[in-house]
Amino acid sequence: MSIYANIVGKFVGKIKGIMALEKTGTPGVYKRERIKDTTYYIRYRKNGKVVDEKVGTKSDGFNITKAKKVLLKKQLNSEDNDTSNSSLSRKSLNELAAIYFEKFDLLENKA
């Protein structure tokens, strides 16, 4: 194997821009350091799947603390949605139909 092949093989990932997320020490918050800037990501589960979401860059004023706050807001909103869905699943079909028709009547009255 030539010297050129060794050098190219070592830098293929960096040339293509494939860089993994780095841990920040804060659970659920990751970062990706580029040449000019650092980008912060949050990682959470949605419907059983892992989601990596970009929240901001260092040049925009984001840091680990702000990214953690965004993650906590996402988690609180998902818990609120879960409780509203579970409360509907406990209702009978007649109760659900009554809720549906009440909302339908409100929509008709607005139009």
Query: Has this prediction a pTM greater than 0.85?
Result: no
pLDDT tens by residue, 46-59? 888 888 999 999 99
19-110 architecture in CATH? Answer: 2-Layer Sandwich (3.30)
Residue 15: per-residue pLDDT = 43
Please give the Cα distance from 57 to 31 (Å, whole number): 9
pLDDT tens by residue, 30-39? 999 988 899 9
Please give the Cα distance from 32 to 20 (Å, whole number): 7
* 30 contacts 23 by C-beta, under 8 angstroms: yes
Determine phi and psi for 42, rounding to 5 degrees.
Answer: -115, 150
